[in-house]
């Protein structure tokens, strides 16, 4: 997957969700350069708008994975 003009934080998020879907909290725990959940949500929204991230819900739990 190649996306141009990604920030280091966006790249970090994509790296942790490339191999398996994770919840927002799981992503936050694995990414070192993001410390607040609201910052993570903003980054994930940016990645969704670029088509780099997909989300789905299973049993009321939302998962995110790189697309």
Q: What is the pLDDT of residues 21-58, one digit of tens each?
A: 999 999 999 999 999 999 999 999 999 999 999 999 99
- Residues 51, 56, 61: CA angle, nearest 5 degrees: 140
pTM of the predicted structure, to 2 decimals: 0.89
CATH, domain 10-66, list 1.20.1050.10, 3.40.50.12280, 3.40.50.150, 1.10.10.10 = 1.10.10.10
């Amino acid at each position: 997957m190649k996306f141009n003009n990604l920030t280091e934080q966006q790249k970090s998020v994509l790296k942790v969700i490339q191999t398996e879907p994770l919840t927002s909290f799981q992503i936050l725990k694995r990414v070192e350069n993001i410390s607040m959940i609201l910052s993570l949500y903003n980054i994930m929204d940016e990645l969704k708008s670029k088509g780099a991230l997909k989300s789905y819900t299973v049993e009321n739990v939302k998962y995110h994975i790189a697309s």
